[in-house]
């Protein structure tokens, strides 16, 4: 903190930054905060595992042509998101032990694919539910715009680029953060923040289709097992092929009904 304050006092906009921090502190003192981070840290800081690594690796296999992200990064993401603390303070089995590992985790955060983010968010919400915690997973305080009027704050406005504009600027394959920042005429830090908040699919077309299948399979299974829709009806509803639906459900362990059978129809004697 002392290093931060020393840096702040030397910054050309240091006084306005400090004013914004004070306004934020006053806002938090006045308004109720919907997340009890102290309780979460007491529950999760000593925890060494948050998810089944097999589920993560299986999703990686289905989504990426070259599966690479270490499952431990997913554990770090869950600890970070649940407690609000940096992964450095997590259980030693999770905490990054070197600057290189910390850098790899930061890269992991902005390269998450949407289906991976969905699995992580679902896992985090399930953990909160298991402990009887009825809170939003994450929360950001919102200061009224008028209180910041007249302040000269460094860096771009985080909300100056919409998720739609971000997604339009990303090519349909691997990309460089520096190149994307130039395209959007902003800083690399701003782009990293946006990608962490709004994951996007930058994978090749074949794996993009695979990712869409991964995100929809649970719904297809619901329609098939509980609503008793046929495979063809689901394929028609989703505008995809019958083979795609069949293969996705088989991978999920769904028992398929015999072809031509109709649940609920009385059998002929």
Q: What tens digit of pLDDT does each residue of 59-104 get?
A: 777 776 565 557 899 999 999 999 999 999 999 999 998 999 999 9
CA distance 20 to 14: 10
Question: What pLDDT is attached to residue 216?
Answer: 80
Q: 55 with 3, same domain?
A: no
Is 9 part of any domain? yes
Q: What is the mean pLDDT of the chain?
A: 85
Residues in Cβ contact with 138 at an 8 Å cutoff, skipping those fewer than 6 apart: 35, 81
| Domain extent at residue 3 | 1-31
Q: 44 with 104, same domain?
A: yes
Is 242 part of any domain? yes
Is 83 part of any domain? yes
Q: 111 with 52, same domain?
A: yes
Is 45 part of any domain? yes
Closest residue by Cα to residue 82 from 115, 27, 130, 114: 130
Q: 57 with 108, same domain?
A: yes
**Look-up: residue for tokens 């006053």?**
26
Question: The tokens of 254 are what?
Answer: 């769904």
Q: 41 with 123, same domain?
A: yes
The residue out of 72, 103, 130 marking a domain boundary is: 130
Q: 56 with 14, same domain?
A: no
Closest residue by Cα to residue 247 from 210, 204, 219: 210
Question: What pLDDT is attached to residue 60?
Answer: 78
CA distance 58 to 53: 9
C-beta of residue 263 within 8 angstroms of C-beta of residue 228: yes
Is 76 part of any domain? yes
Is 43 part of any domain? yes
CA distance 252 to 244: 13
Q: 66 with 117, same domain?
A: yes
- Pick the range with the lowest mean pLDDT from 19-23, 74-78, 214-218: 214-218
* 175 pLDDT more than 80: no
Q: 58 with 88, same domain?
A: yes
The residue out of 66, 100, 130 marking a domain boundary is: 130
Q: 17 with 92, same domain?
A: no
CA distance 222 to 47: 33
* 171 pLDDT more than 90: no
Q: What would the mean pLDDT of 200-208 be, rounded to a whole number? A: 64
C-beta of residue 204 within 8 angstroms of C-beta of residue 173: yes
Q: For residue 16, give the H/E element and its range.
A: helix 14-30
Q: 24 with 96, same domain?
A: no
Highest mean pLDDT among 131-140, 171-180, 232-241: 131-140
The residue out of 115, 130, 145 marking a domain boundary is: 130
Is 24 part of any domain? yes
Q: 113 with 59, same domain?
A: yes
pTM, to two decimals: 0.71
Q: Please count the structural domains in the chain.
A: 3
Is 103 part of any domain? yes
């Amino acid at each position: 903190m002392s290093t931060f304050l020393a840096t702040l006092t030397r910054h050309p906009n240091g006084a306005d930054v400090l004013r914004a921090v004070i306004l934020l502190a006053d806002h938090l003192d006045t308004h109720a905060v919907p997340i009890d981070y102290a309780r979460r840290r007491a529950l999760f800081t000593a925890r060494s595992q948050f998810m089944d690594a097999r589920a993560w690796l299986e999703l990686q296999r289905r989504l990426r042509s070259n599966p690479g992200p270490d499952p431990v990064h997913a554990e770090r993401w869950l600890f970070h998101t649940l407690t609000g603390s940096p992964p450095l303070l997590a259980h030693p089995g999770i905490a990054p032990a070197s600057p290189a590992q910390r850098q790899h985790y930061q890269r992991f955060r902005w390269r998450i694919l949407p289906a991976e983010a969905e699995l992580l968010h679902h896992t985090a919400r399930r953990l909160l539910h298991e402990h009887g915690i009825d809170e939003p997973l994450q929360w950001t305080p919102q200061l009224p715009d008028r209180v910041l009027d007249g302040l000269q704050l460094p860096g771009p406005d985080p909300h100056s680029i919409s998720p739609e504009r971000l997604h339009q600027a990303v090519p349909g394959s691997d990309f460089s953060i520096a190149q994307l920042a130039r395209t959007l005429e902003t800083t690399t830090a701003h782009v990293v923040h946006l990608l962490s908040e709004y994951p996007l699919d930058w994978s090749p077309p074949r794996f993009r289709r695979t990712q869409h299948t991964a995100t929809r399979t649970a719904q297809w299974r619901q329609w098939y097992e509980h609503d008793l829709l046929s495979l063809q009806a689901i394929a028609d509803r989703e505008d995809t092929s019958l083979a795609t639906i069949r293969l996705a459900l088989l991978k999920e362990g769904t028992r398929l009904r015999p072809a031509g059978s109709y649940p609920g129809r009385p059998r002929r004697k």
